Each structure stands twice: as structure tokens, then as C-alpha cells.
Amino acid sequence: MRKSYGDPIAEDLRFVVKSVVGEENFIDMQPNRSNNFCCGGGGGFLQSGFKDARLEYGRLKDQQIQATKADYCIAGCHNCHAQIHELSEHYGAEYGVVHLWTLICLSLGVLGPKEREYLRDDLKEVNVFHPEME
């Protein structure tokens, strides 16, 4: 987001996230914005076969996320999602990693039981839309 369109557009996305999870539940990682670190899933790294190097690259990102003590990390794309998900398991912190669309629909009350693959137990049963679909 910030790479293609710059920090101002990323600020709009912050507005969306805060509106969805509530201002008090939003924690920016440090450093952030254009100073932030890449997770290591991009540029083809995820498919390059250099797994150990990729997890080592992601150590910084994992530490950043752990330092926020947040329960969930929102990932902006599929590469990030896959990489951060793996970091969460590999380094043992086990925070959830979600797509933004999941949280938007959860907050709107329209997230069905089969659309919750990446929610953890704490949110799996919350405000389920058409639970009979299970």
C-alpha cells in the first residue's frame, strides 16, 4: 500500500482498521509507515525455496509484532499473510493473522461460519451470521 501509493493512502486504511476494531484496540507496530520492515514473504521469497533464510529475514517482523502484544495482525496481501502466519507459528507467539475483509465483515455482523478460517478460538464463535451453515 505505502509502496505503491505512499503513506497518505495508508493513512486512509488506518482509518478503516480503527473504525472496524475500535480506536483503543489498534496498535501500530514500531517502526511503522515507510520505516516499517518487510515481512519477507514478498519478491518471490515465499516460493524461492530458501525457507531458513526466509524465516531468518522475518525474525525482525515477528519481534515487531510480538512487541505490540496484539492478539491479531492484519496482513495486506497473500504473500504477507502466508509469511506472517508461518512466523507466528515458527517463533511460537501464535498471534492470529487475518485479512482485512474478515474483520470488516465481522464488524458488520455478516461473517458466516465458513468464512472464519483465520479467526482464532477467541473470535470463532462471536456474532456468527447464519450459524446453521456450519
**Which position among 9, 19, 28, 110 is part of the footprint of another protein (CB under 8 A)?**
110
Closest CA relative to residue 36, chosen from 5, 3, 74: 3
| Cell, residue 9 | 493512502
| Cell, residue 107 | 464488524
131 lines the binding site for another protein (CB under 8 A): no
The number of beta carbons lying within 10 Å of the beta carbon of residue 79 is 19
Q: How far is the CB of 96 from another protein (least distance, A)?
A: 15
* Closest to another protein by CB, 57 or 72: 57
Tell me the β-bridge partners of 96. 72
User: Residue numbers of the site for another protein (CB under 8 A)?
Assistant: 3, 34-38, 40-45, 47-50, 53-54, 56-61, 77-78, 99, 101-102, 104-105, 108, 110-112, 114-115, 117, 129-130, 133
